Amino acid sequence: MKRRHFIKNTTLASVTALVGTDIVFGHLLPEGYEVLALQDPDPFKLFDLDSEMVVLNDKPWNIEAKAHLLDEKITSNKYMFIRNNGKIPENIDVKNWTVTFDGESVKQPKTYTLQELKSKFPQHTYQLTLECGGNGRSEFDPPAKGNQWTVGAVSCATWTGVRLRDVLEDVGVTNSAVYIGYHAADTHLSGDPEKEPISRGVPMDKAYQEETLLAFKMNGKDIPLAHGYPLRLVAGGWPASASGKWINGISVRNKVHDGTKMTGSAYRVPCETVAPGEKVKSEDMCIIESMPVKSLITYPKSGVMILLGKRLSIRGHAWAGELEVTKMEYSIDFGSTWKECKVEAPVNRLAWQHFSASIDFPKKGYYEVWARATDSEGISQPMVLPGWNPKGYLNNACHRIAVKVQ
């Protein structure tokens, strides 16, 4: 009789965390066994999410917020969207977690433990906007393949970590460096250990920005497992796919990183405008970098009813990738005229900004309140869908809510 294989302690700890309580006789679990509580998991309990969050996919997990859930100035875990490409790692051993820096453009590979990162380098905290490149994909026509995000694949939490720049300088980077690419502990949906679910990156100038972090805390606590515990990259203002989770490797490349979902049409848009439905060659696609100007009305919830003569207070957030939002406006006549909102400065670069306004309505009836942001280069959100692209990226059309005046 073959000796029975038992689950490793590190895996048991991860499974216990996912179940939410001690597993009695857990030390007797056979290796590879999936407990029933996780075979058909409740994502709201599993990830500590608000019950109004919307599950788009469970293989892998992709979950978004509704606009009114994002009313907080600093996004808490229960309202943060989850965008995964593979399976969440289950065998996390935080005490022995390491991240290795290698690639063509390092003087020699170097490995750090998580504790070494925390103790050797200064720690910094920034509030940083992360938005899925496909946020708003559901509005494109003809439809684009992928998760049909509406407006809720965006967040702006507070992240604490060490600057990637400081670690790169300690590693030693050669003049040939062009790009960094990340590697992570999540596993491919196929189960093939040789396949990476995603391995994207950013150019060196983004890697060296003050706000680009190797983060280990979110909102002052350990990063939740679904958001990259114990270590993730945070590169605010760019598509969130550039901010890899569960980081265990950084490659410093002498060319544009060519990892999974860096080539072909992934996170790329046509370099020139194309007609809806047109096929575009890979060589005619450009990598998405800074996200476009955008805004979201978070209060009140769409469908609000008020009495004639009462003013309606609205508020929300606006962001503009690497830039700043310099003007916010609202319209109640389908974009024919616009009035300015009050807009606050960001708490730091790459954080979203908060806006508010008080609105009068001339008579009873149905209205739509549209919000429009303008960035520091004078570019405003389009009132309707922006140019179509094959993967349904970068929809930054004006957000709107319905209002009935009685």
Same-domain pairing of 269 and 375? no
Torsion angle of C-alpha atoms 345, 346, 350, 355, degrees rounded to 10? -80
Residue 23 lies in a domain: no
Instruction: Specify the pairing of strand 294-299 against strand 312-319.
Output: antiparallel
**Which pLDDT does position 11 carry in this prediction?**
64
Query: How many Cβ atoms sit within 10 Å of the Cβ of residue 302?
Result: 15
The DSSP letter of residue 396 is -
Indicate the SS3 state at residue 201.
strand
pLDDT score of 25: 86
Q: Walk along the chain (406 residues) and give the pLDDT tens digit of each residue.
A: 333 334 444 567 767 766 667 888 888 878 767 776 666 678 999 999 999 999 999 999 999 999 999 999 999 999 999 999 999 998 899 999 999 999 999 999 999 999 999 999 999 999 999 999 999 999 999 999 899 999 999 999 999 999 999 999 999 999 999 999 999 999 999 989 999 999 999 999 999 999 999 999 999 999 999 999 999 999 999 999 999 999 999 999 999 999 999 999 999 999 999 999 999 998 999 999 999 999 999 999 999 999 999 999 999 999 999 999 999 999 999 999 999 999 999 999 999 999 999 999 999 999 999 999 999 999 999 998 898 999 999 999 999 999 999 9
Task: Out of 287, 322, 341, pick the residue that ends a domain.
Answer: 287
Q: What is the CA radius of gyration of the chain?
A: 23
DSSP code of 347?
S
Residue 399 near residue 141, CB atoms below 8 Å: no
214 is a domain residue: yes
Pair 319, 129: CB distance under 8 Å: yes
Same domain for 246 and 116: yes
Residue 5 lies in a domain: no
Number of domains in the chain: 2
Domain boundary (287, 315, 346) is at 287
DSSP annotation string for 296-330:
EEEES-TTEEE-TT--EEEEEEEEBTTB-EEEEEE
- The answer to whether 191 and 93 have CB atoms below 8 angstroms apart is no
Q: What pLDDT does residue 37 have?
A: 64
Q: Label each residue of 147-159 as H, E or C.
A: CCCCCCCEEEEEE
What is the widest separation between alpha-carbon atoms in the chain? Answer: 84
- Using CA atoms, how far apart are residues 172 and 167, in angstroms rounded to an integer? 9
**Is 298 found in the same domain as 279?**
no
158, 268: one domain: yes
Neighbours of 270 (CB within 10 A): 17
> Phi first, then psi: what are they for 146, rounded to 5°?
125, 180
Q: Are residues 298 and 237 in the same domain?
A: no
Q: What residues make up the domain containing 280?
A: 94-287
Judgement on whether residues 272 and 304 belong to the same structural domain of the protein: no
> Per the domain annotation, does 8 fall within a domain?
no
Q: Contact 132/154 with Cβ under 8 angstroms?
A: yes
Which residues, including other chains, have CB under 8 Å from residue 13's CB and lie 6 or more apart?
A: 92
How far apart are alpha carbons 146 and 232 in whole angstroms? 24
- The domain boundary residue, chosen from 287, 310, 333: 287
Amino acid at 210: E
pTM over the 0.75 mark? yes
- Whether cis (ω within 30° of 0) applies to the bond prior to 142 is yes
Domain at 319, CATH number: 2.60.40.650
Q: Is residue 358 domain-shared with residue 259, that is, in the same domain?
A: no
Same domain, 142 and 212: yes
The answer to whether residue 62 sits within a structural domain is: no
Query: Does residue 248 sit within a domain?
Result: yes
pLDDT value of position 1? 30
List, as one string, the DSSP characters of 281-297: -GGGEEE--SPPPEEEE
* Residues 149 and 250 grouped into a single domain: yes
Whether residues 274 and 304 share a domain: the answer is: no
pLDDT at 4: 34
Judge if 220 and 123 occupy the same domain.
yes
Q: State whether 249 and 363 are in the same domain.
A: no
For residue 186 the two structure tokens come to 């999540």
Q: Give the helix/strand (H/E) hosting 99.
A: strand 98-102
